[in-house]
A and B are shown apart, each in its own frame.
Chain A
């Protein structure tokens, strides 16, 4: 078995027993990524020198915690001090944040090795990783198919064994859906569990940060490191972080699981429904109590999302004005307003422009919205 195929826990055991070094492990991942990435395009940058430097440091000091010396992919949305971070957008090309996101700082502290940044839909807007200024990511299981999104790069990189673990974000499915499509494992934590500080914002009241791995144990290990209160993110409650590894030994006996019937209705393929129901039955066999529930407003969820999400997005993306960070427009224009319009017109992709305009209508300019609505009626 090649080293890049190991789970985090297996790799940790190997490092601890000195069966191989973190440099060996990192090199195995780099080799795999160099071979596969030209086709899959899961990584937009492989930070080889940086990764090897971190790996050698761990080898010198000895692997401490379970993430020590483990090569991970980082979604291009997390600020990594001194390394380009662009949210998959041309408007941030060349931007190197002068600080680490809190989640990144915690992983760095835990000794994780940063293999590079993974591809994503621009500003995390999309569910296919087709809206990136770096081109599409392909599903490693079948290159003709999408990997899901927006964290498609992280999901594909882990599924294709280019890295041992990865991190990403989930606002409206951006971890859950790509891991499901690629066959890796991911977790969208409860809102506020992991700090959003230094994570480029999409829709702040939903954005969550979560781990990607090859199994659930990997997720527990990564979440253990990233979770907790952060004074730089006021939406992270001061609740103690439980021991997630200990929770893995528990069983599901007596656990009541709701199965919303609307989720299995129109638009779900038979094969998908069967797979999910197989998993559900397996839980039942282990003692979980299943109960059908009804969420009758489900059919309105997407429409609600398309009002609220763009409102937050357009407000968050107002900061990309070509002044404090990112690119300059090719034509400066005659005044500041023209400069803004030029840089945003050139720097944002189609999906972002669409959502900014929807958000501008639904929240930014109430008066205009009413005017337009009365005209449309």
Chain B
């Protein structure tokens, strides 16, 4: 596996919504390359016939009534922790388009 480039890191960072400085781009390109190099040893494992494990509790389809659980805090308390302005019960954000 060849090295991850600075441009590829830039692409991934954009998708992950992370602003990175030029120094960070260089640093992470090297570091991610060595992490993926290590992960590459998995390609030698034969997983034919191995059952996937997605959970360990054995629980299936745990349902609850479709009701708002408001015992633990109120809508106003939740809105009070935003760093942004609140208008008519909604958080005001930058324009989307």
Taking beta carbons and an 8 Å cutoff, which residues of A are in contact with B? 81, 94-100, 191-192, 205, 231-232, 234-235, 237, 297, 299-300, 302-304, 306-307, 314, 318, 321-328, 332-342, 344-346, 348, 350, 353-354, 356-358, 360-361, 364-365, 368, 372, 375-377
Contact = CB atoms under 8 A, between A and B. Distances in A.
B53 to A, nearest CB: 9
Contact of A360 (B15, B36, B93): B15
Contact of A336 (B8, B64, B96): B96
Contacts of A376: 1-2, 4, 36
Judged by DSSP, the binding face of B is loop
Contacts of B62: 234-235
Contacts of A377: 1-2
Interface in B21-40: 24, 27-28, 31-32, 35-36, 38-40
Contact of B8 (A192, A354, A372): A372
Contact of A354 (B31, B56, B69): B31
B43 to A, nearest CB: 10
Interface residues on B, range: 35 or more
A336 B18 contact: no
A314 B12 CA distance: 12
B17 interface: yes
Interface in B71-97: 72-74, 77-78, 80-84, 91, 93-97
B35 A235 contact: no
A123 B75 CA distance: 26
Closest A-B pairs by Cβ, 5 of them? A345-B19, A98-B77, A234-B62, A98-B73, A341-B19
8 contacts: A94-B83, A99-B77, A205-B56, A336-B96, A338-B94, A344-B19, A353-B20, A357-B32
A328 to B, nearest CB: 4
